[in-house]
């Protein structure tokens, strides 16, 4: 399986762009952020990290005609049955239960998470994992993306 040398990154997040460029430059790949190609964000309508990563990669590949790579990630807290999960980036703004500011920042998301766990005194029940899914689409109609 050969990879194209120029790949669109389905993200405009500057930190993420830096990380991907650093990771893939050593492999001889040219990672181009979607924002440099006039591609906007697509609604993440999936119910899993895999679905959302595929949605983003497929959209970027469709608009640019280039192969695309995308990720979707978040934290899953066991005591909260996997919440915030795919909503990690906007967790603090999902409902009115959190009385922080209206901004969905990392700090506010963390505060809401701590608030949700405030009555959990047993540290052994405060377990979680970080999920990160990467998807590579050779083209927009790719029936078997690399996950």
Give catalytic residue positions.
Answer: 72
Cβ-based neighbour number of residue 70 at 10 Å: 26
Pairing of strands 128-137, 68-77: antiparallel
**Angle at 91 (CA atoms; ends 79, 17), nearest 5 degrees:** 115
């Amino acid at each position: 399986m050969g990879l194209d040398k120029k790949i669109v990154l389905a993200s405009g997040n500057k930190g993420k762009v830096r990380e991907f460029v650093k990771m893939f430059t050593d492999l001889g790949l040219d990672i181009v952020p979607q924002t440099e190609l006039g591609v906007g964000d697509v609604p993440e309508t999936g119910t899993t990290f895999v679905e959302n990563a595929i949605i983003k990669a497929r959209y970027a590949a469709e608009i640019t005609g280039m192969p695309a790579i995308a990720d979707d990630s978040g934290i899953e807290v066991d005591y909260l049955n996997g919440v915030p999960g795919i909503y990690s980036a906007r967790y603090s703004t999902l409902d009115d239960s959190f009385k922080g500011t209206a901004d969905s920042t990392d700090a506010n998301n963390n505060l809401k998470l701590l608030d949700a766990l405030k009555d959990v005194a047993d540290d052994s029940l405060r377990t979680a994992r970080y999920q990160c899914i990467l998807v590579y689409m050779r083209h927009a109609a790719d029936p078997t993306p690399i996950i």
